[in-house]
Structure 1
């Protein structure tokens, strides 16, 4: 893929997804959904396969259509909050170095999770927290809508053309693309459709992300 050209003289910004991009939370998500499924007498593996493809309310509609979705969501949130308090989390290799090297006010987090959980996970992993966090409560339309990334850019005082989105999931990639931003994919074995560049790991992208912020990122792909 070909990277988008930098706009000379303009300040550059980086907008990060969290789960799967900066923090490895796959095992935690699996554990939470297993506990939730067992609470409702469901097969945990079947539920998790649905949850991977849909948002929670859509998952509930498929696996427990006769239950109150608000009750189901409250139970899920309780389990997620407990996991933040007691679960084991790890930042992806390169995350601490990368975030520590970025200038204050030049980056943000854009997540489908909630800010208090993100802060809890960052505290557990020692990652710095930026001034701007756009979470699920910040917007009425989540990813793949462009709204979350556009709101983050607005709060940073940035134009979409000067923003680099770092994502690992198709819905997040589409959100960044719909927002008119440069989108790089990380932590996947194959490139997600639409990304301008692909890196097998976050570590492999660190120097290129820092180069982007200086306006000198290369135009060759990976």
Structure 2
């Protein structure tokens, strides 16, 4: 297992992925891609498998190379915006309690989605939105590039070694590790490769995340 970066400052920061980490949107994403695939006469299951590991434009290039990527993206965006308005989803257990307990200015959201959708979902599930949200429009390179997490740290005025990344996907974990941050995985049955710590659910991680944020020596690496 990779050693955790040793926290070096008095202020600690927590950077959260959104979908799959704080918001339970897996079924929504599957349905959006299913509807999109059916519109283009494609195999929904294959499209979703590709979409899970690539950014949308890369997905289009693989599953619909003969289609205009901008047209494909517009169709996907329309479906996702409709899902924000009408879809059924919720926050993972412990999410509201956790975010409410973190001090303002010490946490951020880092998402491959867009900020207006995050705000829409958070409003519907009662989660607070932090001052810093780094979304797909804020960076040219998405996860697994470290750029999104480094951008969030910079906007918070934080050093990477003082940041904890909370993720649920391999690309997100890789992004956090490449940024030189501590990375914990949540909401997966088995640990994503590379994580410093693994929790089966977000609820199980709440106490430890808050301890990290407070600088508790109980979670400092040996």
Query: Is TM-score (shorter-chain normalized) higher than 0.5?
Result: yes
2:5/2:161 contact within 8 Å kept:
no
The DSSP-based 3-state class of the residue aligned with 2:93 is coil
- Residue 4 of structure 1 deviates from its aligned partner by 4.4
Q: How far apart in 2 are the matches of 1:155 and 1:54?
A: 26
Cα offsets for 1:129-174 (capped at 9, x unmatched): 0000000000111111111111101111111111000000111111
Unaligned 5+ segments in structure 2 are none
- Residue 18 of structure 1 deviates from its aligned partner by 0.1
1:168/1:185 contact within 8 Å kept:
yes
Unaligned 5+ segments in structure 1 are none
2:163/2:182 contact within 8 Å kept:
yes
Does residue 92 (structure 1) correspond to residue 92 (structure 2)? The answer is yes
Cα offsets for 1:2-46 (capped at 9, x unmatched): 654443x51000000000000010000011001101111112122
Partner of 2:41: 41
Partner of 1:195: 195
Q: How far apart in 1 are the matches of 2:38 and 2:109?
A: 32
Alignment of 1:122-133 (within 5 A): 122-133=122-133
Partner of 1:152: 152
- Residue 64 of structure 1 deviates from its aligned partner by 1.3
TM-score scaled by structure 2? 0.95
Does residue 54 (structure 1) correspond to residue 54 (structure 2)? The answer is yes
Does residue 70 (structure 1) correspond to residue 70 (structure 2)? The answer is yes
Cα offsets for 1:34-68 (capped at 9, x unmatched): 11011111121221122122221121112111110
The DSSP-based 3-state class of the residue aligned with 1:209 is helix
- Residue 99 of structure 1 deviates from its aligned partner by 0.2
When the two chains are superposed, the root-mean-square deviation of aligned CA atoms in Å is 1.5
TM-score scaled by structure 1? 0.95
| Number of residue pairs the alignment of both structures matches | 220
Cα offsets for 1:64-108 (capped at 9, x unmatched): 111101100110000000000110121000000000000011100
1:20/1:187 contact within 8 Å kept:
yes
Partner of 1:181: 181
The DSSP-based 3-state class of the residue aligned with 2:165 is strand
